[in-house]
């Protein structure tokens, strides 16, 4: 058995992460971590035990250009989530330390 034989297309890499915890980066400054259960060719994902992290950048009106905008992070958890593929930027295994 050659494990690499299953790697023939990019989606096979995602397949490796099935039933594993993955990190998903979404458009709109959102990130997800959760267990990937299913995906399809549109990168629609079904995930469980998801924690979503939303970056909210508040730019103060009239503030000088140099002043950094404040970034708030909102988090929420969901038991089960369907992620529409058009928002997915990146799917990866969570960083292992």
Partner 1 sequence: MSFFGFQENNLEEERQRIRDGGSHENEDVAVYTWGEESYDGLGDALQEGGDDFNDETFGGAGNVGKDFDFAGQASLLEPGLTHQKAANHALPSPAQSRLDPSPAHPIEQQSIWDDRSPFSALPRENGGASRFAERGERREPSTSQFSPFPESPVLHQPNASQTGARTLQDIEAEMRAAALQSRGASQRQQNALRIQQEEEQFLQDQAYQRQRLAFQREREQERELQLQALQRLQQQQVMQLREQPQHQRTPPPRMLPVSQSPRFLDQRQMMLLQQQQEEQQHQLRLQQELQEQLRMEELERQLRAQQISQLNQGPTHFNHRRQPSGPTIAELQALQQQQLHRRQRSQSPAYQDFNNIAPQNVQLQQRLLAELAQVEYMRDFQGATQAEQDALRAEAMRKIVEAEKMEDKRRKKAAKIAHMSRYNDLMTQSDKDFITRIQVSQLVTPDPYADDFYAQVYGAILRSRMGLQTQDERVLKFGTGGGISLGNTQKAATRRPNAMQRMEQQVERIVSNARRREEEKGLHSLHSLQGALGKTSGRSYKAAPRQLLQVDDNPSTSPTLAHAHPHISKEDATAWSSEGAAKEAAKLSRETLGNTGNVVRKDPLTHRQVLTTLEALYDLVLKVEHLRREQPQPEEEDASRQWQKEYDDLIELLWEGLKVMVPLETSNPHPFVSLLSPSKGKKLLPRLTRHIGSARMLTLMTLLVACFTQLDVVRQAPLLDVLEETAERAEVERQTQAFLGSVLQSILPIVANLELHVVTALLGLLIDRSQDIAAVAKTKPGLALLTLFLSRVEVIKQAWGTGAEPVDLMTAGAALEQQAVFDQFFVLITPHFLSLFPSSRITLQAHHPTSAALAIDIIDQPVWQFLAALALQAVPEQHQVLVTSLRDKVLENVLSANKGWVADEDERRTKLANVNLFLHALGLDSSQIAL
Residues that bind partner 1 (CB under 8 A): 1-10, 12-13, 15-21, 49, 93, 96
Closer residue to partner 1, CB minimum distance, 13 or 69 = 13
Neighbours of 52 (CB within 10 A): 19
Cα-only R_g, the chain: 17
Closer residue to partner 1, CB minimum distance, 4 or 67 = 4
Nearest-angstrom CA–CA distance, 32 and 81: 10
* Minimum gap (Å) between residue 36 Cβ and partner 1: 11
* Minimum gap (Å) between residue 79 Cβ and partner 1: 13
* Minimum gap (Å) between residue 53 Cβ and partner 1: 13
**Virtual torsion, Cα 46, 27, 25, 53, nearest 10 deg:** -90
Helix (H) or strand (E) holding 14: helix 10-16
Closer residue to partner 1, CB minimum distance, 48 or 87 = 48
């Amino acid at each position: 058995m050659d494990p690499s034989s299953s790697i023939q297309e990019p989606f096979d890499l995602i397949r490796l992460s099935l039933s594993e915890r993955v990190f998903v980066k979404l458009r709109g400054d959102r990130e997800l971590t959760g267990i990937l259960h299913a995906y399809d060719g549109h990168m629609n994902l079904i995930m469980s035990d998801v924690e979503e992290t939303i970056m909210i950048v508040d730019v103060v009106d009239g503030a000088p250009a140099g002043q950094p905008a404040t970034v708030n992070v909102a988090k929420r958890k969901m038991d089960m989530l369907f992620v529409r593929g058009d928002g997915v930027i990146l799917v990866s295994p969570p960083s292992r330390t």
